[in-house]
Amino acid sequence: MTIKKISSAVNIPSEELEDWGIPKTVGEPKCQLRGLFISENEDGSEAGIWECTPGKFIREVMQAELVTFLSGHCIFHPEDGDPVEIKGGDVLFFPENSKGTWEIFETVRKAYLIYNLKK
């Protein structure tokens, strides 16, 4: 097993992250995704650093996800439930099939783990 460490993940310049394209946006401005994979597994689970510029887009991750927001400000609007305001320092768990819309006000960066729950 190799332990991977990313020092000061919040301070990595955006230009050093991989361009992950533009998600299914809702209106303008169009968000830009960037990131860094820390671990990718055959079962579809992965961990990494994710960044998104301001805008609105539809969440497409249908696996369970645990995230720690490192910086930024946004609101997640779930299809079922009340909006969740998120700022740097917040930790969230998204159950499988969490559908909704992201509304990014200030570029957000998070450390994430996406995984499949046992059936």
Closest CA to 34 of 53, 16, 18: 18
| Domain positions in the chain | 17-115
The pLDDT of 15-43, averaged and rounded, is 93
Kindly tell me if the per-residue pLDDT of 96 is higher than 90. Answer: yes
The tens digit of pLDDT for each residue in 67-82 reads: 999 999 999 999 999 9
Kindly tell me if the per-residue pLDDT of 55 is higher than 90. Answer: yes
Rounded to whole angstroms, the Cα distance separating 33 from 108 reads 10
What is the phi/psi pair of residue 110, to 5°? Answer: -140, 155
The residue with greater pLDDT, 13 or 26, is 13
Give the pLDDT confidence score for residue 12 in this predicted structure: 96
The pLDDT of 26-40, averaged and rounded, is 93
What is the CATH T-level fold of the domain 17-115, as seen in this structure?
A: Jelly Rolls (2.60.120)
CA distances from 33 to 14, 99, 118 (A): 10, 18, 29
What pTM value is reported for the model? 0.91
